[in-house]
Amino acid sequence: MASNADDTTNIEKLVDQESYKLWKVCTTVLFKANALHEIVSGEKKFNNLTKDEEKADWIRKDARAQKIIITSIDRKFLFHVINCKTSSEMYAKLCELFERGAEEEVNNELQKYYYFEFENDMDMATFIMKIENMAFNSLLAEQSRNKTEETEPNQVAFKVAEKKGKYNRNKHSCSNERRCFICKSTNHLAKSCTMNTNSKREMYCRTCKKSNHWEKDCFFRKKSSKKPEKKR
Q: Residue 42 belongs to what domain range? A: 1-99
Which of residues 43, 76, 99 is at a domain's end?
99
Sequence-distant (6+) residues with CB within 8 A of 23 are 11, 12, 13, 14, 72, 73
Which of residues 99, 133, 167 is at a domain's end?
99
In a domain, 23, yes or no: yes
In a domain, 61, yes or no: yes
- pLDDT 10s digit of each residue in the chain, 232 long? 444 555 666 788 898 877 888 899 899 999 999 999 999 999 999 999 999 999 999 999 999 999 999 999 999 999 899 999 999 999 999 988 887 655 566 677 677 767 777 777 878 888 888 778 777 777 766 666 665 555 555 555 555 656 556 555 555 554 455 566 667 677 666 655 666 555 445 566 777 877 777 777 787 776 665 555 555 5
Contact 178, 188 (CB under 8 A): yes
In a domain, 177, yes or no: no
Q: Phi-psi category of 128—alpha, beta or left, where left has phi over 0 and alpha has psi -120 to 50?
A: alpha
In a domain, 77, yes or no: yes
Which of residues 61, 83, 99 is at a domain's end?
99
Task: Tally the domains of the chain.
Answer: 2
In a domain, 20, yes or no: yes
In a domain, 91, yes or no: yes
In a domain, 151, yes or no: no
